[in-house]
Amino acid sequence: MKKIRAAIIGAGGYGGCGATELLIGHPNAQIVALFDQQDIGRPISDLYPHLKGFCDLPLLDANDPNRPEDFDVVFFSTPDGVGQIEARHWLSKSSKVIDYSGDFRFNNADTYRGYASRIGKSGEHASPDLLPEAVYGLAELHRKEIAGARVVGNPGCFAVSCILGLAPALKAGLIATDSIICDSKTGVSGAGKKPAPNFHYPARYDAMNAYRISGHQHVYEIERELGLAAGEELKITFTPHVIPLCRGILSTIYGNLKQGQSAESAFEAYRAFYKDEAFVRVFGPGSTITSTDVRGSNFCNISVNADPRTGKLIVVSIIDNLMKGQAGSAVQNMNIMFGLEETSGLLRPGQYP
């Protein structure tokens, strides 16, 4: 079978590095071009020396009019605002587009506006006509639409952990929809490759903090997806924290169990919901799950618990933010979009310790 020809835009960042690592080992796809706006001409293995001998493609100038343009799929590992401008061009070249940012996570201009306001962007989407066909790239909930999509908006890292951690409860009506809290902890790699005072080693190695309390933009896609699962609109309280580790998101999720529900009934509902999923593992009450259980892999591990004293459902949901939270989901989406085995190139356990 001919390999899928993939290009990455914004290849120099962690998201590009992650996709490159995965595509190097992918049996049905290959990287044929890497684009960026800096370090032009340098081999990617110069920025990421562990790739030396595995991928030594040079970074091409994303703005060069003579750039190659013959790809089956283009990954936009770029900040908000880039994909929405450039996707149209690549679609016209018959490439499919998978965008890591929020640009294609919403399928109408109105819902996008709320998201955009949270990240200090003008609320106007640059290509509103593309939004109706954009698909939210969380395979476990939108596999069919992804299969037929030309444009996929890869989900936010926090969103993956929260949505997968709550969808079964809402679909099954286990909890009330009016008092859901997602308390999420992320490793530092989620902030990307660019140095910043908060992520300077001496400032971070022994430091944790909450940030953007009640103001993080991922709340919109979480609410949209959970609303779909619940069959009604809902609002959640979401607090992100950054802690001193590299890879991992752990979301601790709280909801009020409805009458008659328990940890056990919830556990069964979660198991049933995910029984055919390759990348979701469900654990019962009393299990301890740790971020390293999924580090370096595309899995989401979920433990289902309850506090019978207070009637709370307590779900812990963990992912590797650079894998299931980013490049792993992107490759999973690519597999689905091109009719490949969904797990192709992704069945790796990670490494420990």
CB-wise, 63 or 288, nearer to a second copy?
288
CB-wise, 125 or 185, nearer to a second copy?
185
Q: Across-strand partners of 183?
A: 239, 252
Q: Across-strand partners of 152?
A: 98, 135
The 8-class DSSP code of residue 255 comes to: E
Q: How far is the CB of 207 from a second copy (least distance, A)?
A: 4
User: CB-side exposure of 155: number of CA atoms within 13 Å?
Assistant: 32
Q: How far is the CB of 153 from a second copy (least distance, A)?
A: 23
CB atoms within 10 A of CB 39: 15
CB-wise, 96 or 204, nearer to a second copy?
204
Catalytic residue flag (residue 157) = yes
The catalytic position among 17, 157, 162, 300 is 157
Give φ, ψ of 92 to 5 degrees: -70, -20
Edge-to-edge strands of the sheet including 151-153? 59-61, 29-36, 4-9, 73-76, 96-99, 151-153, 135-136
Q: Which residues contact 2 (CB under 8 A, 6 or more apart)?
A: none
Q: How far is the CB of 69 from a second copy (least distance, A)?
A: 27
CB-wise, 125 or 204, nearer to a second copy?
204
Q: How far is the CB of 233 from a second copy (least distance, A)?
A: 12
Q: List active site positions.
A: 157
